[in-house]
Structure 1
Amino acid sequence: MISSQAAMESFFRPHRLYAVAGASADPTKFGNKILAWYLHRQLPVAGINPKSPTILEQPTYSSLDSVYSQVFEKSSTDSDKFSSIAISVVTPPKASLALVEHIGQTPALRKAVRAMWFQPGTFDDATLDAAQNAGIKTIIAHDRCVLVQGQESLDAARRSSAWSEESSSPETKL
């Protein structure tokens, strides 16, 4: 588990679907601001909120399972199919732990979810340990926020040779 600049850059990849766990319809909440951050950068993002059918004029999904089946899996027939999922987590630590444990217990999610960015206040040591045990390759935490470090990390990722190689070569399904 690393919270370095390199880890933040590796969070952003072409052909990756982003999800915001804890997306909120309330514009004063970080779950709304982080979803808006992805939308403003025209990144493919799915908000996860079991109570609001739409947020920021975008459809939301009741669970990560719904994102997987309704967005990720369906992209396999598109030319711009997704190769993996990266999740920005904006939920209380208990809900974050439940999400990570669910990923670890669900083979399809365990294979698809490659990165998680835990926003400040959304995790504890048990959550981070569970993320490692679930096989998450990139785990970002410890006072790192996509609203603060995200743009710099996204820009650096887009400048990297890995980004240009991945976006120009045919994508392989996980």
Structure 2
Amino acid sequence: MNALKTKFLTSKNFAVVGASTNPEKFGYKVLKWYLDRNMTVYPIHPKEKQICNVNCHTTITSLIDDLASKNELQGQNPVLSVSIVTPPKVTYGVLEEIKKNLNSKECLKNKEIICWIQPGAENEACKEFTSSNQLDTVYGCVLKDGDGVLETLNNNSKI
């Protein structure tokens, strides 16, 4: 079991960048996965107002600012876990935005954001960026691996 996947799923705040209103798209399926497990999740979409009856944010930055204004970035790390379901060029920009926020926002000082880049959302440039900028990143499919990680977390909490 990947320890970073486990840490990712211990967050109290999740975001899905590339959330979609189309039930056939992975952006919808990933968002629904979090909702079906009663996790606090925020869809990120540049145009939609709501997806699955959840208010959207247009960017990661707008979500971080909103969470900070509500004191939702307190407590254990990671303060935000971000699933990315976008084309690689968009993913790269999202990673840059996350890094910029980590470096510049006082509310994120000594805080951690973990990314889970879904299949097809990455390329070598994205992998190089996360590595060279020390962004904690999981690769693979949350739809495939997430339930197993949650089961392990639940079993460990019963010990």
The bucket for the TM-score relative to the shorter chain is 0.7 to 0.9
2:48 partner SS: coil
1:6 aligns with 2:3: yes
Query: How far does the alpha carbon of each residue in 1:73-114 deviate from its partner, in whole angstroms, 9 at most, with x for none?
Result: 1331x6x95641111010000000011112222323685452
Q: Which runs of 5+ in 2 are unaligned?
A: none
1:140 to 128, 138, 141: 138
What TM-score, normalized by structure 2, do the two folds share?
A: 0.85
Cα shift at 1:135: 3.0
Contact 2:16 2:31 in 1 (8 A): yes
2:13 partner SS: strand
What TM-score, normalized by structure 1, do the two folds share?
A: 0.78
1:89 maps to a residue whose letter is: I
1:30 to 26, 31, 42: 26
Whole-angstrom CA distance in 2 between matches of 1:35 and 1:134: 27
Match of 2:43 in 1: 47
Cα shift at 1:131: 1.7
Query: How far does the alpha carbon of each residue in 1:9-28 deviate from its partner, in whole angstroms, 9 at most, with x for none?
Result: 221115x3100000001111
Cα shift at 1:115: 1.0
Cα shift at 1:151: 0.7
1:124 maps to a residue whose letter is: N
1:115 maps to a residue whose letter is: I
Structure 1 stretches of 4+ moved >6 Å? none
1:117 maps to a residue whose letter is: W
2:56 partner SS: strand
Give % identity: 28
1:159 partner SS: helix
Match of 2:63 in 1: 67
Whole-angstrom CA distance in 1 between matches of 2:155 and 2:49: 35
Higher relative contact order (CA 8 A, sep 6+): 1
1:160 partner SS: helix
2:42 partner SS: strand
1:6 maps to a residue whose letter is: A
Matches within 5 A, 1:21-170: 21-70=17-66, 72-76=67-71, 81=74, 83=76, 84-106=79-101, 107=103, 108=105, 112-137=111-136, 139-141=137-139, 144-160=140-156
